[in-house]
Amino acid sequence: MSKSEQRDKNKRFCQCSISLLLFLGGLLTCGSAISANLEIPIALLGQEEAEHIPLSLLQPVIDNSGEAGAEQGISDNNTTGRFTGQSFEFTALKIKPEESVAQVFSKLHAQGTRLFLVNLPAEKLLELADMPQAKDSLLFNIGARDDELRTRSCRSNLLHTIPSRAMLADALAQYLAWKRWNEWFLVVGRHPKDKAFAEAIKRAAKRFGHKIVKEKAWTFEPGARRTDSGHTREQQEVNAFTQVGDYDILIVADEEDEFGEFLSYRTYLPRPVGGTQGLSPAAWSAVHEQWGATQFQRRFREKQGRWMTDRDYSAWLAVRTIGEAATRTASNQADKLKQYILSPEFNLAAFKGRPVTYRDWNGQLRQPLLITSPNIMISVSPQQGFLHQHSTLDTLGYDRPESSCNTLNSD
């Protein structure tokens, strides 16, 4: 076949595809005329973890964080699917310690799944994204907050719906800038995650004109979570630990929920506590009720008997992203969906008062973040006055020039 013939053939193929798309688009608008059914399998990969007992007795022990949110997304997608002739199927798998992530992934891939929600630590997430079979798949990170994944270790088949630590820290720092609570006392836990959160806090402090006047590591052994007379000890410990110079707010980095809850009302000086506990930045929270969130929360709570977590919301976002892209493109192909998701046409309503979209340089979903207290919403960032040439949402987290990722849409 000569080159020109090949070109003609390609052209014909394109024309066919376009008319097919138009035809499908036409079908969408007729609704009841739809009979063809497009099946769209989605899988969630997590791992078995030791049960986490929250410090607060009020907080439930949750073993399906993420999965429950995905289920709500699947149910929403299928309601739409009734009208568009698409059906979304969902599988959730928890990988056992002795199992290999790659094997479980390969099995699902061989069964035809190309769309994955991943609730795994960063290194396992990257292991999956780099597998040869994953080339024709699309992965949504709903668990790993690592900034590294958004600045250096990006992958063309990987999107992130969970906010990065930098986004959370920036959201809090903007609110504290509005409050002019500029002098921070930083208390950091013993885990690498806590140190990573503290790094994000330091970066945010610099960006928004704050000063960390004192930093201390929390070194007390956590011990059992449920105790009798525990308060006597914590009262003494925190009072002594916080005898430092003056500051405006104590910022705590305790992602594992080991001690942060102990700090409020026990500091030596009468100062508020924020960070991973107290005044906390979050993608989602039980205290959020604006922009139609009430109905969304109620639907979830009726089904699950608990409030929605950040991870549930991130899973819901991933499933709804797939649903929205599948509706608009009438496709279940990962590459077609990805192309649409990263295009300017894509936007998603997510109970945040403005559309959420994806950053095309690192695959991070941009979204407003909530500034919450345990019982009520305090604010929503970005704060007024923090401007940006493209989207004020890009004042949260690593912006395009700060990230060395720019390859997302190139292959």
Min CB(393)–other proteins separation in Å: 8
Choice between 85 and 222, CB closer to other proteins: 85
User: How far is the C-alpha of 139 from the C-alpha of 143, rounded, in Å?
Assistant: 12
Q: Is 66 left (phi over 0), alpha (psi -120 to 50) or beta?
A: left
Binding other proteins (rule: CB under 8 A), the pick from 37, 56, 79, 100 is 79
Report which secondary-structure segment, H or E, holds 87: strand 86-95
Q: Is 209 left (phi over 0), alpha (psi -120 to 50) or beta?
A: left
Binding other proteins (rule: CB under 8 A), the pick from 64, 65, 84, 164 is 84
User: How far is the C-alpha of 367 from the C-alpha of 376, rounded, in Å?
Assistant: 20
Binding mask 235-254 for other proteins (x = CB under 8 A): --------------------
Binding other proteins (rule: CB under 8 A), the pick from 220, 244, 354, 394 is 354
Reduced to 3 states, what is the DSSP secondary structure of residue 88? strand
User: How far is the C-alpha of 90 from the C-alpha of 73, rounded, in Å?
Assistant: 10
Choice between 222 and 355, CB closer to other proteins: 355
Per the listing, tokens 């003609």 go with 8
Binding mask 270-309 for other proteins (x = CB under 8 A): ----------------------x-xxx-xx----------
Residue 321: phi and psi, rounded to 5, are -60, -45
Min CB(134)–other proteins separation in Å: 30
Per the CB < 8 A criterion, the answer to whether 348 and 320 are in contact is yes
Binding mask 20-59 for other proteins (x = CB under 8 A): --------xxxxx---------------------------
Min CB(74)–other proteins separation in Å: 12
User: How far is the C-alpha of 189 from the C-alpha of 254, rounded, in Å?
Assistant: 5
Q: Which of residues 307-336 bind other proteins (CB under 8 A)?
A: 320, 324, 327-328
Binding site for other proteins (CB under 8 A): 28-32, 76, 79-80, 83-84, 292, 294-296, 298-299, 320, 324, 327-328, 347-349, 353-355, 391-393
